[in-house]
Amino acid sequence: MAKKFKFNHETLDFDEVRSTLLGVVRQVAFWLLAGALFLVGYYALFAQFFSTPKERRLAEVNHTLTEAYEKLLAQHEQIQNLVDYLELRDADIYRHIFEAESPYINATEDGISLVAIEHLDNITLTRKVKNGIDRLDSTISRQTTRLKTLVEQAQGNPSLQLLPASQPVHNNDLRRIAATYGMRIHPFYKVVKMHSGVDFTAPLGTDVYATGDAVVESVHNNLRASGITITLNHNNGYRTTYAHLLKANVAKKAQVKRGDVIGLVGNSGRATAPHLHYEVHKDDHTVNPIHYFFKDITPDDYQLLMRIAASKGQSFD
């Protein structure tokens, strides 16, 4: 062990310093205390800016749960919106087919609202999610029963075949709808005008179908406007019009069935391109044909049509 010396000013020499037990104890205690303080400070600093592997795992689990719950909220909202749409669609079909209010219109339960994930323990969160799913399941089951009843009533209604309930051209992917019902920019005058039907784009000569059983009310050719046009009378307050045809395959007073080819897509009259302009009239007033495509489209298709309708700014005629 190295010896320690201290300078003596009186003798001008170095005297050996001999360690005492008390001095050694004090020195050891000082270094132990300093080390303890250093470790405490280091741990506090590390905990402030770094996390342990266990804490990181817990944080990752919490983040995953939060993302999963947020996705569940989004899915729940989509399903709830679909259920709400089906109930409105149910009422709409009753009005148009049976000309009556749906007997279920006031039977809809209030929608549920899942709350945010913050400040919820696992038991409460699980209970809320389960309650939400149970109520949706109940609503969907109820709507299924209503749909079954609606189908049974529709099958027993002989006037259903008269309703213009399909699209006048093949349009399974909905890509042929070029302009919808409502205020649209006129292609020639470049001003906003009422567009009273739906424009379907299709190659020249594409088959055009009757959308319901009817009698041909008129076939005429207006060169300055709608071109070759067929009007069908469905004998239930409904009329349908098919304009800008290349050719009419039927004559006035002829009887037609839904799905019969009554003409071919053309660009006769005042039109910017080959297309079919299709209108639905109820009691001598035009109505939106999109609401009458019952036989051709699903609920998802209908929502897509609504988005298409909102985005189309210019008609073809």
User: Sign of dihedral through CA atoms 89, 93, 99, 101?
Assistant: negative
- Categorize the per-residue pLDDT at 136 as very low, low, confident or very high, splitting at 50, 70 and 90: confident
End-to-end CA distance of the chain: 108
- Categorize the per-residue pLDDT at 278 as very low, low, confident or very high, splitting at 50, 70 and 90: very high
Of 167, 235, 230, which is closest to residue 201 (Cα–Cα)?
A: 167
* HSE, side-chain direction, 13 A CA sphere, residue 236: 18
Query: Region 242-262: what's the mean pLDDT?
Result: 95
- Categorize the per-residue pLDDT at 113 as very low, low, confident or very high, splitting at 50, 70 and 90: very low
**In contact, 173 and 155? CB cutoff 8 Å:** no
Give the 3-state secondary structure percentages of the chain, helix then strand then coil, rounded to 5: 40, 25, 35
pLDDT above 60: residue 88 = yes
Q: How far apart are CA 254 and CA 274, in angstroms?
A: 26
| Res 106: pLDDT | 47
**Position 52: which residue type?**
T
| Separation of CA 253 from chain center | 44
- Average pLDDT taken over every residue of the chain: 76
**Position 96: which residue type?**
H
* DSSP SS3 for 311: helix
| Res 258: pLDDT | 92
> Which of 74-83, 89-98, 166-175, 283-292 is predicted least confidently?
89-98
pLDDT above 90: residue 83 = no
User: Sign of dihedral through CA atoms 23, 24, 29, 31?
Assistant: positive
pLDDT above 90: residue 203 = yes
pLDDT above 50: residue 72 = yes
Q: Count of CB atoms within 10 A of residue 234's CB? A: 25
Q: Please provide residue 206's backbone torsions phi and psi, each rounded to the nearest 5 degrees.
A: -65, 140
| Res 49: pLDDT | 61
pLDDT above 50: residue 79 = yes
Residue entry with tokens 């929502």:
303
Query: Region 44-55: what's the mean pLDDT?
Result: 65
User: Sign of dihedral through CA atoms 182, 184, 188, 190?
Assistant: positive
Hey, what long-range contacts does 221-224 have (CB within 8 A, 24 or more apart)?
221/268, 221/269, 222/269, 223/268, 223/269, 224/269, 224/270
Q: How far apart are CA 175 and CA 95, in angstroms?
A: 28
**Which range scores top for mean pLDDT: 41-50, 91-100, 116-125, 172-181?**
172-181
> What are the start-end ranges of the E strands in the chain?
4-8, 13-17, 177-179, 182-185, 192-195, 198-201, 207-209, 214-222, 227-233, 238-248, 255-256, 261-265, 275-282, 285-287
Q: How far apart are CA 198 and CA 279, in angstroms?
A: 7
Q: Which residues pair with 277 in a beta bridge?
A: 199, 243
- Categorize the per-residue pLDDT at 212 as very low, low, confident or very high, splitting at 50, 70 and 90: very high
* DSSP SS3 for 103: coil
* C-alpha dihedral (9, 15, 21, 24), degrees to nearest 10: 80
**Which range scores top for mean pLDDT: 50-64, 161-175, 230-244?**
230-244
- Categorize the per-residue pLDDT at 256 as very low, low, confident or very high, splitting at 50, 70 and 90: very high
